[in-house]
C-alpha cells in the first residue's frame, strides 16, 4: 500500500459560452431637461395691475355695504351682479352692480355694470351738476343718460395698460335726454346752447372724476365723454 495519498484531480474552471454576451451595466436614466420656453415679450398682454388680484370675500366688505346704502338714499335702482374676473387679462370687479337708474328721476340706458364707487360718483354728478345745468340752460329736467360703455374687459386702445373699464371704474356718456324730449349728443359740432351745456358738464366733471376726456382729446373720444376714477398719485386729475 502506497503511503502517500493520491493528489485530487484538478477541477476545471467554467468559462462563459461565447454566444452569451456579458450584460453591460447601464447608467441610470437621466431625464432630458425640459425644452426652453420662448421668451415672453408681453407685446400682446396687458400690463399687470394690483387690482387684478381682487377676489370676492365670503362676506361683502363693510365699505361695499355702506356704498349700497348711499345709493339707495340717492334713489338709485340697481341689482347685484356676480363677480367679474379674468385671470388671463386681469379684469376684476369683486362686487359689481348693474345700474337701472342714476337717481329718483334720472334713467340710464342701457343698464350699466360698474363698481359701486363709480356708480355712486356718477349718480351724485348727475344730481348735483348735470340736472341743475339742464334746468339752467334749457328749462327742463335731465330725464336719462345714454351710456356708450361701462364694464368692458380690455386694455386701453393702442396700449397694454388695462382700461379703467376693465375694473368697472369708468363710464362713457354719448348723450343726455331732457324731460321735454330734447336730446343733447356729445360731439365735435354741437349747437351753441348745447355746446355751453356740454362745456359746463365737462369742466365740472374734472374733480369728482380723475380722468375726463371728450371731443378734441383724441379720435377715440370724439363722440362721448369718458369719466373714470383711476387712482392717481396725490389724488391728481387728467382732464382734456
pLDDT in tens, 106-117: 999 998 999 999
Mean pLDDT calculated for residue range 171-189? 95
| pTM, 2 dp | 0.77
In Å, what is the CA distance from 228 to each residue of 40, 130, 171, 191?
Answer: 31, 16, 6, 26
In this prediction, residue 20 carries a pLDDT of 46
In this prediction, residue 41 carries a pLDDT of 45
Give the confidence band of 232 by pLDDT, cuts at 50, 70, 90: confident
Beta 107-114 vs 97-101: how paired, if at all?
antiparallel
Mean pLDDT calculated for residue range 164-169? 94
Per-residue pLDDT at 40 exceeds 50: no
In whole angstroms, what is the distance from residue 207 CA to residue 222 CA? 21
Average pLDDT in the chain: 84
In this prediction, residue 60 carries a pLDDT of 92
Higher pLDDT pick, 34 / 144? 144
Ordered by start, the domain boundaries in the chain are: 50-239
Lowest mean pLDDT among 27-41, 85-99, 113-127, 222-236: 27-41
- Give pairs for 198-201: CB < 8 Å, separation 24+: 200/129, 200/133, 200/137, 201/129, 201/130, 201/133, 201/225
131-138 and 192-205 are packed helices; what angle lies between their axes, rounded to 10 degrees? 160
Nearest by Cα to 166 from 151, 156, 180, 181: 151
Per-residue pLDDT at 76 exceeds 70: yes
pLDDT in tens, 122-148: 999 999 999 999 999 999 999 999 999
Backbone angles phi and psi of 220, in degrees to 5: -70, -20
In this prediction, residue 57 carries a pLDDT of 79
In this prediction, residue 229 carries a pLDDT of 96
Question: Grid coordinates representing 34?
Answer: 425640459
Backbone angles phi and psi of 131, in degrees to 5: -60, -50
Amino acid at each position: 500500500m502506497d503511503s502517500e495519498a493520491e493528489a485530487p484531480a484538478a477541477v476545471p474552471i467554467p468559462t462563459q459560452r461565447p454566444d452569451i454576451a456579458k450584460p453591460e451595466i447601464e447608467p441610470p436614466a437621466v431625464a432630458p431637461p425640459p425644452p426652453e420656453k420662448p421668451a415672453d415679450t408681453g407685446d400682446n398682454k396687458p400690463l399687470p395691475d394690483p387690482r387684478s388680484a381682487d377676489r370676492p370675500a365670503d362676506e361683502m366688505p363693510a365699505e361695499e355695504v355702506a356704498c349700497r346704502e348711499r345709493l339707495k338714499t340717492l334713489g338709485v335702482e340697481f341689482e347685484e351682479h356676480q363677480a367679474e374676473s379674468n385671470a388671463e387679462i386681469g379684469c376684476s370687479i369683486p362686487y359689481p352692480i348693474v345700474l337701472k337708474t342714476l337717481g329718483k328721476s334720472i334713467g340710464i340706458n342701457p343698464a350699466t355694470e360698474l363698481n359701486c364707487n363709480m356708480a355712486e360718483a356718477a349718480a351724485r354728478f348727475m344730481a348735483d351738476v348735470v340736472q341743475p345745468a339742464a334746468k339752467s340752460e334749457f328749462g327742463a329736467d335731465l330725464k336719462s343718460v345714454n351710456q356708450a360703455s361701462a364694464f368692458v374687459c380690455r386694455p386701453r386702445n393702442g396700449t397694454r395698460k388695462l382700461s379703467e373699464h376693465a375694473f368697472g371704474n369708468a363710464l362713457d356718456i354719448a348723450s343726455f335726454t331732457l324731460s321735454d324730449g330734447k336730446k343733447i349728443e356729445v360731439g365735435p359740432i354741437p349747437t351753441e346752447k348745447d355746446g355751453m351745456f356740454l362745456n359746463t358738464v365737462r369742466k365740472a366733471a374734472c374733480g369728482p372724476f380723475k380722468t375726463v376726456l371728450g371731443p378734441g382729446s383724441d379720435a377715440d373720444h370724439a363722440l362721448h365723454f369718458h369719466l373714470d376714477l383711476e387712482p392717481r398719485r396725490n389724488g391728481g386729475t387728467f382732464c382734456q
